[in-house]
Structure 1
Amino acid sequence: MLRAVREQGLLERRLGWYAVRIAANLLALTATVVAVVLAGDSWWTVLLALPLAVLWARTAFFGHDAGHAQITRGKRAGRTVGLVHSNLLLGLSYAWWNDKHNRHHANPNHVDKDPDVGVGALVWTQRQAERRAGLSRWLTRHQAGLFVPMLLLEGIALKVSGFQDLRRQSPRERAVEGLLLLAHLVGYATLLLSVLPPGKALVFALVHHALFGLHLGLTFAPNHKGMEMPDPDGEGWGHLRRQVLTSRNVRGGFVTDWVLGGLNYQIEHHLFPHMPRPHLRRARPLVQAHCAAVGIPYAETSLLDSYRQALHHLHEVGAPLRAAR
């Protein structure tokens, strides 16, 4: 499979593809900011939080791709792209995201090694659920129903996590990341407070971050939730099984690819994390054929069904706690 992927040039960088789309996204961001300024002191301005949130998600996707070295071959150039798109434009820590995301890719859905299925506001196994107490126990009982509302807080949570991670970083990395995060906050606050009174500015910021968090959460939710989870006490899986069995693809066309930032090809992305986004669709039939040949299930479904499966898993995790009431 790897040989076939290389023969078709699917691991080659697509600098031109990314350059055009990054430029278009920056132009759209600029146009939206100008629209906010022109709309001025009006509640109608809050409506612009929606397109801004959608464009922020595009920006996050470019930061994600830069972290996987999909855009450039050089680490320095890739880090620059990632810092601009993550820290400066979004106020999210590039170093924090990369550390967390790389650990996820190494051991997807492993409860002891994947930070995405660690114990937090939500839990992902009934063993984790058994240890919950107090308010967290109540949250676990109802986590399927609370999942989407909780995503409205994700945009702010991502910013907080980035600032918290500064303590882990080296002094040099901390200085660069911290200054860019601060520059984002100052620029964002200055923009809103120069156009809107404090009350409206706060509403705009809250709506904007809620929609941004919801968009990102609904993008990442279909990828692994409800899929196989390696037994932490059992033998390790090989790379192919570990990446394929824990991942789920989402069927769709151009719109799905755009809305989900190419992460709807989650299986291909996990098998070839350095593969440029536009090549993931072309790699899909190769991966499907190889999985069929070696007898490994290849999970692919619709977007709505992926949400159903993810929410069903969350509901089942909380089932013992509901039964014990």
Structure 2
Amino acid sequence: MPTLHQTTTVTPASRPAPGGSDFARLSRRISAAGLLDRRPGYYSARAGLVLAAYLGGWWGVFALGDTWWQLGLAAAMSAVFAQVGLLSHDLAHRQVFTRRLPSEIGGRIAADLLMGMSYGWWMNKHTRHHANPNHEERDPDVAPDLVVWSQRQASQASGLARFIGRRQAYLFVPLLLLEGLNLSFNSFRALRGPAVKRPWLEGTLLVVHFAAYLGLVFAALPAGKAVAFLAVHQALLGLYLGCVFAPNHKGMLMVTPEMKLDFLRRQVLTSRNVRGNPFLDALMGGLNYQVEHHLFPNLPTPALGRAARITRDFCREQGIAYYETGLLRSYREIFTHLHRTGEPIRARG
């Protein structure tokens, strides 16, 4: 398994070269190529298509009526909801608007009202992840909970985490089926904490979302089919989002407190790119270009492919390991990593 934590020797950050740091020099190349310019036409078209699919899906729920074919529509709607989430992600990173206020308004409409996920909670969590990706102590996305992400975490696991950790490579996909519910639960729980700056506003939007969401499903379908619709929709929403976000960092370099990395190397060495095509780029919302997204979070999605070529060439010049692979291989690497990190738990019997 060619993960960077196995093949890369991590050394202290070097002194800035003439002309600034390595990242500064790469930034000038990206800027000179015009890749940081906003893309209003692209985002208008994308938002319009996603909104049309969202409204069309709800129209379809009533048009189909009392039939088990609704479960197919539930699956399709899970993809639509995930695309709403990916659009809110771009809004949060100011890829759509340069100013904070319209980004926050759009993000709350997309995340809270249309998807049912707290924009403030997710923004706080995701910002901390971007600052320290795959850091064992600072990245909330690799904090040991039900799954352990390093052998150090596995050696300290207890309770349910220890039980799951023994076989987490096999349980990872089933756990993703619960991620949609987990997002909703954490969104409401966060309203009482400091992560959400406007809890009353977000709380109201979340209540409106779930009142409409549940009300529409139960108004269109008998109780049994409504429950089945909700179960399929939430399970596949979690699976979709998990399959988009997991390849980005899972199985890559895990950063420990003693490691000293500059910004460029911290982002590149902990991120995995997935080779794309127009369909995969749309499916993953451009997050398959994870290296470039982490280096330049406000880079608009359609600019990521060209930015990847520039970044890949720059890393080659600097001798920085830049990792890219296919989608299926990325999943294989994730499962191999999960199985390996569970070894200390299995060894304890």
Residue 137 of structure 1 is matched in structure 2 by 162
Mapped to 2, the partners of 1:84 and 1:219 lie a distance apart of 22
Q: Compute the TM-score of the two structures, normalised by the length of structure 1.
A: 0.97
How far 1:172 moved relative to its partner? 6.4
How far 1:323 moved relative to its partner? 2.6
Which letter does structure 1 place at the counterpart of 2:210? L
Provide structure 1 residue ranges, at least 5 long, that are not aligned to the other structure: none
Summarize the alignment of residues 1-325 of structure 1 with structure 2, pairs less than 5 Å apart. 1-169=26-194, 173-232=198-257, 234-325=258-349
| SS of alignment partner, residue 227 of structure 1 | coil
Q: Is the 8 A contact 2:146 2:160 kept in 1?
A: no
Question: CA, structure 1 residues 172+243, in 2 after alignment: closer, same or farther (shift >3 Å)?
Answer: closer
Mapped to 2, the partners of 1:173 and 1:126 lie a distance apart of 38
Q: Compute the TM-score of the two structures, normalised by the length of structure 2.
A: 0.91
Comparing both structures, which one devotes a greater share of its residues to helix?
A: 1
Provide structure 2 residue ranges, at least 5 long, that are not aligned to the other structure: 1-25
Mapped to 2, the partners of 1:290 and 1:170 lie a distance apart of 37
Question: CA, structure 1 residues 240+76, in 2 after alignment: closer, same or farther (shift >3 Å)?
Answer: same
Q: Percent identity, aligned pairs only?
A: 46
How far 1:170 moved relative to its partner? 7.8
Mapped to 1, the partners of 2:283 and 2:102 lie a distance apart of 26
Cα RMSD for the two superposed structures: 1.2
Mapped to 2, the partners of 1:170 and 1:106 lie a distance apart of 16
Mapped to 2, the partners of 1:65 and 1:31 lie a distance apart of 23
Question: CA, structure 1 residues 171+264, in 2 after alignment: closer, same or farther (shift >3 Å)?
Answer: closer
Mapped to 1, the partners of 2:118 and 2:152 lie a distance apart of 31
Please give the per-residue CA displacement for 1:134-182, whole angstroms capped at 9, x wherever unaligned. 3321200000000011100000100101111101148960111000000
Question: CA, structure 1 residues 208+171, in 2 after alignment: closer, same or farther (shift >3 Å)?
Answer: closer
Q: What is the aligned residue count?
A: 324
Mapped to 2, the partners of 1:268 and 1:135 lie a distance apart of 36
